[in-house]
Amino acid sequence: MVSARIVGLPPLTTPSAFRPLFRMNLPVRPEFKVIDETPEWLVVDKPAPLIVHPANLQPEPTLLGGIEALLSFEMANGARPAIVTRLDRDTSGVVLVAKTTPAARELGMIMERREAEKEYLAVVHGHPADAAWESREPILRAAGTGPVDIWVRQMVHPGGRPCHTRFRVERRFARDGRDFALVRCFPTTGRMHQIRVHLAAAGHPIAGDKIYSGDGSEYLDWMKHGWSPDLRARLLLPRHALHATALTIPWLGDRVTWRSPLPEDLRRFIDGRPPAPADGVILWNRSGPADRE
C-alpha cells in the first residue's frame, strides 16, 4: 500500500478549429488522489465532478488524461493505462486502472467473471420501507424504445439486460423538509447507470440526480442553462449523491480491498449542514477554464 497523494490534472488546450456541441460552463474538479499502486495497477479516488474518458471528442479535463500524464515515464517504456472500473462524471470514489496490457486483460476477466465486490453509498429520496432489499429488474437504453431527449438515459424494461443490485439502509434522516436515507448498494452486475435506475424504479431516486430524479427535465435544463437557483431548489445537490466506497478483487491468491470515505459534500448533506464552497472546482467552457466556483 502506498501513501495517498493528490495529483492535479495537466493543462489542456483546445484545437483552434474545434466547435463545441454546446457552450455551457461545465464544473470540473481537475485532480484525483492516488490511494494504491503496483507495477500492474493504479487505484485512485476520483472526485466529482470529473469525467473519466473524453466525451463525444469534446475537450475537457479527464481522469484518463491525468493518469496518462502521471504515468508518462511508464508509457514511454511500454505501459498502456486502461481504466477498469468506470464511474459517471458526478459519481465519486474508487477507480481501478490497469497499467499494462496483460494487467488490463486479467483485471477485465475478473470483472467479467464477477469476482470483484463493489460497494457504493447513495443518498436517496424518501425512507425505504424495508431495511434491505434487492432488485433484479432488467435495464435497457431508453432510446431502444423510441425517440428520447436524453441519449444516455436508461430504463427498466422487460427486454433489457439482466441486472442485480442488493441494497441496505444505513441511516434515515430528514433535511429541508424532505425525507432521505443513506443506502449501501452492492451491484453484482455492471450495467450503465444500474444503481441509479434501480433506486429510481424502487421509488427512491438518488438525491441530486438530474436524469433520474424525475422525467429528465432537470438534466435538460442543466444542459441548456447550467446550474441555477431553480435547479438548486429542485435537486438540492449539484451532483448526484453516489459514491463508490469500496472495491475488492482477487489478486495473486489473495483478496485486495480499497476503500474511500464518504466525501465532504455528501457528509455535510447527511448531517444537515449547508453546502461548503466548491474548493478546487473550475468552470470549463470547452475552450478552456472559465472561472472557479
User: Domains in the chain, please, with CATH?
Assistant: 5-292 (3.30.2350.10)
- 219 within 8 A of 150, measured Cβ to Cβ: yes
The number of CA neighbours under 13 Å toward the Cβ of 291 is 3
Q: What is the pLDDT of residue 24?
A: 60
Q: What is the pLDDT of residue 16?
A: 42
Output the pTM of the full model: 0.90
| DSSP class of 143 | G
Local confidence pLDDT in tens for the 293 residues of the chain: 555 677 777 765 544 443 444 456 788 888 999 999 999 999 999 999 999 987 766 677 899 999 999 999 989 988 889 999 999 999 999 999 999 999 999 999 999 999 999 999 999 999 999 999 999 999 999 888 888 889 899 999 999 999 999 999 999 999 989 999 999 999 999 999 999 999 999 999 999 999 999 999 999 999 888 889 999 999 999 999 999 999 999 998 999 999 999 999 999 999 999 887 776 788 777 555 555 44
Contacts 24+ apart (CB under 8 A), 169-173: 169/128, 169/130, 169/131, 169/132, 170/121, 171/270, 172/127, 173/270, 173/272
- Name the 3-class secondary structure at 112: helix
Cell matching residue 82:
486502461
Pairing of strands 26-28, 31-37: unpaired
Q: What is the pLDDT of residue 30?
A: 86
The CA–CA distances, whole Å, from 165 to 40, 102, 190, 199, 276 equal 29, 30, 9, 9, 32
- Name the 3-class secondary structure at 74: helix
Q: Examine the residue annotation and report whether 88 is marked as an active-site residue of this protein.
A: yes
Q: Which of 36, 45, 88, 265 is catalytic?
A: 88
Q: What is the pLDDT of residue 282?
A: 81
